[in-house]
Copies of this chain bind each other. A is one copy, B any other.
């Protein structure tokens, strides 16, 4: 067994840290799981038995070791790690999307995935440069939503637009045409959000209908996962 290395963007595998996440991984992406690691501190009991049964039924190797936990986890109460091959996904023209342009925070991306899944938006497009959807921090913040979402990366927004430009496009910007209060999508749509610090570049004002979430002047902006979640909540309301 090779030594364990820190996760890197180039790695072929990533990790679910913790028992709950690892159950989500086994449930939704069984065929991509390569190994399950169990720490010596993991208590005997029903949870462990269920984990073993699921792994054995799927032919997944169980490795008893503490080493990988020192490398990957800062949390004291992490006793199970799932290792999985990264999967690739395709987006569909028939589904609404959330589009993140240059997101820079892994936790934010994971939190947005969790909200998206909650509001029935299961597809995400990401425009580079961007954080890594498979980074263990993203996986953890998503609470496992990453295993149920389809996401695809693009080098430029124009690439995305070439394929999905026919739908209703809503770039979210502070100086926008429309208030979110008035947005009622009639068909398939994409909600587009910029970077945490800089927002969307000005040229997005010419794409589709730009939207603002009205808020008082006492704050500069809402935090990104909150803005994206409010937008998804409103746009998916029946």
Contact = CB atoms under 8 A, between A and B. Distances in A.
A223 B181 CA distance: 22
A120 B219 CA distance: 10
A118 interface: yes
Given A118-B219, A219-B114, A213 B233 contact: yes
Interface stretch (A64-72, A86-94, A224-232): A224-232
Given A181-B237, A226-B225, A218 B143 contact: no
A218 B118 contact: yes
A219 B143 contact: yes
Interface residues of A, number: 26
A220 interface: yes
Nearest to A225: B226
Interface string A111-148: 10011011110000000000000000000000101001
Contacts of A206: none
Given A225-B226, A226-B226, A215 B118 contact: yes
A216 interface: yes
Given A181-B237, A237-B181, A115 B226 contact: yes
Contacts of A226: 111, 115, 225-226, 229
Interface of A: 111, 114-115, 117-120, 143, 145, 148, 181, 213, 215-216, 218-220, 222-223, 225-226, 229-230, 233-234, 237
13 contacts: A111-B223, A114-B222, A114-B223, A115-B223, A118-B216, A118-B219, A119-B215, A120-B216, A143-B220, A181-B237, A223-B225, A225-B226, A233-B233
Given A145-B219, A233-B234, 20 more contacts: A111-B226, A114-B222, A115-B223, A117-B216, A117-B218, A118-B215, A118-B222, A119-B215, A119-B216, A143-B219, A143-B220, A145-B218, A148-B218, A181-B237, A213-B233, A222-B229, A223-B225, A225-B226, A229-B230, A230-B233
